[in-house]
Structure 1
């Protein structure tokens, strides 16, 4: 089991002295190599789930496990990608990819070899000596993925990494990401507001309720070609899955 949330609740103390429960009694499991998306209304705790997986927050109650171990602090086996690539503008692309390895004390020769291997896997060979400003938005996101893969994570957390890209670039990058992650065999947890994206990228979609978020439905995406979202977009079943998710979210908002 790569990831498990076991009856997890997270409550935050507000400056007013009141408490805000972000998620309540969250239960789900993610198998090794599986790609799972999390969708739900704004403010339902999607980012809180990612932060607890990474060990940035501790549950108020319940247990989060990564690779069978209870998460009690920031986990070096978890890679985290945000909406922005956060590349350091004063470092070359290869130096950016090496950054995580450098901070862990990996030798210069080893981190260069690993960085170059990931740049090649992410189709950025030949751009290693460029600076971030010289790359397109899509290339920068691929460089951010190479940086994440270079630390050899067990799990990658994706926090809407495609939302800032234009529509055409987004389609191409989704395909590139999916193929790379599938090839690497890495477990992936994606949060997104794009329902079609959640379907074309995933093995399974978790639909959260309004805050405090809880898992109201797990939807298995029984379609082939997970590594090729562009091919999946051509399948008529995509609309059926997206409509099912939309209906759940719409009904939940009415109930609230």
Structure 2
């Protein structure tokens, strides 16, 4: 089992302040190599789940486990990608990709070899000496993925990494990401507000309730070609799954 939440509740609020419960009684498992998306209303605790997986927050109760070990601090085997690529503008692309390896003390020759291998995998060979401002938004996101892959993570956490891209670039980058992640066999947890994106990218979709967030449905996406979201977009079942998720979310809103 790559990732497991066991009856996890997380509250925020210092002494004397209002206590907010972000998630409550969250239970789910993610298998090794699986791609799982998390959807739900704004403020329901989706980002809290990612942060707890990365070890940035600790549960108020319950347990979070990565590869069978309880998460008590930031985990070097978990990579995190945000909406923005966060590339360092004063470093070349290859130096950006090397950054995580450099901070871990990996030698110069090894980190360059590993960075170049990931740039090739992300179709950025030939751009390694460019600076971030010289690349398109889609290329920058691929560079951010290469940087994440270079540290050889067991799990990648994606916090709406495609939302800032234009529609055409978004389709192309989704496809590139899906191919690369499946080829590498990496377990992936994606947060998105785009229900169709959740369906075309995933093996399963977790649907969260209004805050405090809890899992109200685990929806398997039993469709072929997970590594090729563009092919999946042409399947009628995609729209059916997205409509079912939307109905669940609307039903939950009416119930609260």
TM exceeding 0.5: yes
How far the C-alpha of 1:150 sits from its partner, in A, is 0.1
**Residue 44 of structure 1: SS of its match in structure 2?**
coil
User: Unpaired segments of 5 or more residues in structure 2?
Assistant: none
CA displacement at 1:184 relative to structure 2: 0.1
Stretch moving more, 15-24 or 99-108: 15-24
Superposition pairs of residues 1-16 of structure 1, within 5 angstroms: 1-13=1-13
Name the counterpart of 1:72: 72
How many residues in Structure 1 have an aligned counterpart in Structure 2? 256
Structural mapping, 1:87-166, within 5 Å = 87-166=87-166
* Partner residue in 1 for 2:86: 86
The answer to whether the Cα contact below 8 Å between 1:38 and 1:207 also exists between their aligned partners in 2 is yes
Instruction: Give the TM-score normalised by the residue count of structure 2.
Output: 0.99
Whole-Å Cα distance in 1 between the matches of residues 93 and 17 of structure 2? 45
Residue of structure 1 in register with 2:26 after alignment: 26
Q: Which runs of 4+ in 1 moved over 6 A?
A: none
Q: Name the SS for the 1:65 alignment partner.
A: strand
Structure 1: which 5+ runs fail to align? none
* Cα deviation, residue 131, structure 1: 0.2
Mapped partners of 2:62, 2:215: distance in 1: 15
Please give the secondary structure, in 1, of the residue aligned with 2:243: helix
Give the secondary-structure state (helix, strand or coil) at the position aligned to 1:56.
coil
Measured in 2, the distance between the counterparts of 1:98 and 1:106 equals: 9
State the distance in 2 between where 1:32 and 1:3 align.
8
What is the correspondence of 1:163-202 to structure 2 with a 5 Å cutoff? 163-202=163-202
Confirm or deny that 1:235 pairs with 2:238. Answer: no
Show the 5 A alignment for 1:213-224: 213-224=213-224
Q: Deviation digits for residues 97-132 of structure 1, max 9, x if unmatched?
A: 000000000000000000000000000000000000
Instruction: Quote the offset at 1:17 in angstroms.
Output: 1.5
**8 Å CA contact retained: 1:14, 1:20:** no
Match of 1:209 in 2: 209
In the other structure, the counterpart of 2:63 is: 63
Deviations 1:226-253, CA, capped at 9 Å, x for gaps: 0000000000000000000000000001
Deviations 1:198-241 (A, max 9, x none): 00000000000000000000000010000000000000000000
C-alpha RMSD over aligned residues? 0.7
| SS at 1:37 equivalent | strand
Shift of 1:18: 1.6
